[in-house]
């Protein structure tokens, strides 16, 4: 008989909004100071990267950008639980996840500037290209996990998506298939409360996203997405569950998108200022974790300033180098359509190449 799970899972939280930990849960986590500081460094890096990328877009130096400010704890906590041999299948907001897993900063600059190679990670980084089709990456993650299982590999696929993706058929099809075949995959939903301008209560009738796992006979976990410690814990447990052959897990990380959906959006048209300020002032994952580190005697304003300066310098250095690279010609787009292009595609590529050259472009 298939396992049965609780219909409405409780919220997992270790670090509360005041930066105080549940001592028993924290001790059980068995985490050292080095990893705590690594978590903080990545959360802070994420905040700096996000602000810088928004400024670059406003300056016209990169294209449309999707902010992830407010979601750093969910991304950092989950990403640090993922091993090198594991696969990440992202949507378009997993900047910190990608950087932690080994994607170079230059890849993001290339991607946001529209270069064809921007979504191609290095060969030693197990990561799929950025997916903009809502929920389109979920069946891909299931396929990746199925391939790993068939090949007998010790790898788990982690699929990231937002709350809006749970309204798509791909979400339900993916979870059903993964559960039936007990695939090594973790579905990590960052519930940031808004699918562009649609609030969560207009997307679904169920009280939580995590409880949807029950219908598919898999483990569903609801976690405070602004608590990096809890996100790390539930992601680690889900990875172990998948790796040991006990099937997939659906994680709902309850968090909040502080900024607009993308730089092409204006959140003031559909959200109240009071709502945003509540999350920014009372629930911010960066402020919360800094408060915790101060209580532990691990916070240093000098260290914080050094990290901010380092990240800003890293971005400026990469940008200065990247902006000397000429945009790729349009005909190179054919090289990224298929692994082995057919004859018709090659003919079209040559036609476009001749046209561009004849026009002096």
Question: Do 29 and 143 sit in the same domain of this protein?
Answer: yes
The answer to whether residues 348 and 305 belong to one domain is no
Residues 321 and 337 in one domain: no
Kindly report the CATH number assigned to the domain that includes residue 17. 3.40.50.970
- Asked if 232 is an active-site residue, the reply is no
Q: Are residues 232 and 339 in the same domain?
A: no
**Residue of 93, 222, 241, 257 with catalytic role:** 257
- Indicate if 337 and 200 belong to the same structural domain: no
Q: Which residue has better confidence, 317 or 119?
A: 317
Q: Is 257 a catalytic residue?
A: yes
Specify whether the CB–CB gap between 357 and 349 falls below 8 A.
Answer: no
71 lies in the same domain as 158: yes
**Position 154 confidence tier, pLDDT thresholds 50, 70, 90:** very high
Write down the catalytic residue from 47, 93, 113, 261.
261
How far is the CA of 142 from the CAs of 136, 242, 244, in angstroms? 11, 12, 17
Q: Are residues 145 and 201 in the same domain?
A: yes
Segment 207-211 mean pLDDT: 96
Asked which of 117-121, 165-169, 248-252 is least confident by mean pLDDT, the reply is: 117-121
Tokens found for residue 264: 């092409």
Say if residue 250's pLDDT is above 80.
Answer: yes
Tell me what the mean pLDDT of segment 223-228 comes to.
Answer: 98
Task: Determine which one of 270, 271, 303, 331 is catalytic.
Answer: 270
Residue 2 lies in a domain: no
Task: Work out how many domains the chain is built from and give that number.
Answer: 2
Task: Say if 4 falls within a structural domain.
Answer: no
106 and 240 fall within a common domain: yes
Q: What pLDDT is attached to residue 336?
A: 81
Q: Residue 3 domain-assigned? A: no
Residue 6 lies in a domain: no
Q: DSSP secondary-structure letter at 324?
A: T
Q: Quote the CA–CA distance of 110 and 170 in Å, as a whole number.
A: 29
Q: Residue 13, SS3?
A: coil
Please give the Cα distance from 312 to 308 (Å, whole number): 6
245 and 360 fall within a common domain: no
Assess if residue 230 is contained within a domain. Answer: yes
33-92 pLDDT, tens digit each:
999 999 999 999 999 999 999 999 999 999 999 999 999 999 999 999 999 999 999 999
pLDDT for residue 2:
55
Look at residues 120, 137, 118, 134 and name the one whose alpha carbon lies nearest to residue 62: 118
Residue 135 phi/psi, 5-degree rounding, is 75, 0
How many other β-carbons are positioned within 10 Å of the β-carbon of residue 200?
17
> Is 5 part of any domain?
no
Mean pLDDT confidence for 95-120: 89
Q: Is 95 part of any domain?
A: yes
User: Based on the domain organization, do 321 and 348 belong to the same domain?
Assistant: no
Q: Which residue has the tokens 């200065």?
A: 320
**Is the pLDDT assigned to residue 190 strictly greater than 70?**
yes
pLDDT tens, residue by residue, 298-339: 999 999 999 999 999 999 998 888 888 887 888 988 888 888
Look at residue 257 and tell me if it is in a domain: yes
Is there a single domain that holds both residue 266 and residue 336?
A: no
Residues of the domain holding 355: 329-361
* Catalytic residue flag (residue 115): no
Q: Are residues 337 and 249 in the same domain?
A: no
What is the rounded average pLDDT of the residues 188-215? Answer: 96
Q: How many secondary structure helices (H) and strands (E) does the chain include?
A: 12, 8
């Amino acid at each position: 008989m298939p396992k049965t799970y609780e219909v409405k899972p409780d919220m997992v939280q270790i670090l509360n909004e005041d930066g105080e930990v549940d001592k028993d849960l924290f001790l059980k986590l068995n985490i050292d100071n080095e990893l705590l500081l690594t978590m903080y460094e990545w959360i802070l890096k994420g905040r700096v990267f996000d602000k810088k990328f928004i400024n670059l877009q406003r300056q016209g130096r990169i294209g449309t950008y999707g902010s992830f400010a407010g979601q750093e704890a969910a991304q950092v906590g989950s990403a640090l639980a993922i091993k090198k041999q594991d696969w990440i299948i992202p949507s378009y907001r997993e900047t910190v996840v990608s950087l932690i897993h080994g994607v170079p900063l230059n890849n993001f600059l290339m991607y946001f500037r529209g270069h064809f190679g921007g979504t191609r990670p290095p060969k030693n980084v197990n990561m799929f290209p950025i997916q903009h089709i809502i929920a389109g990456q979920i069946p891909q993650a299931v396929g990746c996990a199925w391939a790993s299982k068939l090949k007998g590999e010790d790898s788990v696929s982690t699929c990231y998506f937002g709350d809006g993706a749970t309204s798509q058929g791909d979400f339900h099809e993916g979870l059903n298939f993964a559960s039936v075949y007990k695939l090594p995959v973790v579905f990590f939903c960052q519930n940031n409360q808004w699918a562009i301008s649609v609030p969560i209560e207009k997307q679904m009738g169920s009280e939580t996203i995590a409880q949807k796992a029950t219908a598919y006979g898999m483990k569903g976990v609801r976690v405070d997405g602004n608590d990096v410690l809890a996100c790390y814990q539930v992601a680690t447990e889900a990875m172990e569950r998948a790796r040991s052959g006990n099937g997939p897990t659906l994680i709902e990380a309850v968090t909040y998108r502080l900024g607009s959906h993308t730089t092409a959006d204006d959140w003031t048209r559909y959200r109240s200022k009071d709502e945003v300020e509540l999350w920014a002032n009372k629930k911010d994952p960066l402020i919360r974790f800094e408060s915790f580190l101060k209580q532990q005697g691990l916070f240093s304003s000098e260290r914080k300033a050094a990290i901010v300066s380092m990240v800003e310098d890293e971005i400026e250095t990469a940008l200065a180098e990247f902006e000397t690279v000429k945009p790729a010609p349009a005909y190179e787009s054919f090289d990224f359509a298929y692994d082995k292009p057919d004859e018709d595609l090659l003919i079209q590529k040559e036609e476009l190449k001749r046209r561009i050259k004849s026009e002096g472009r």
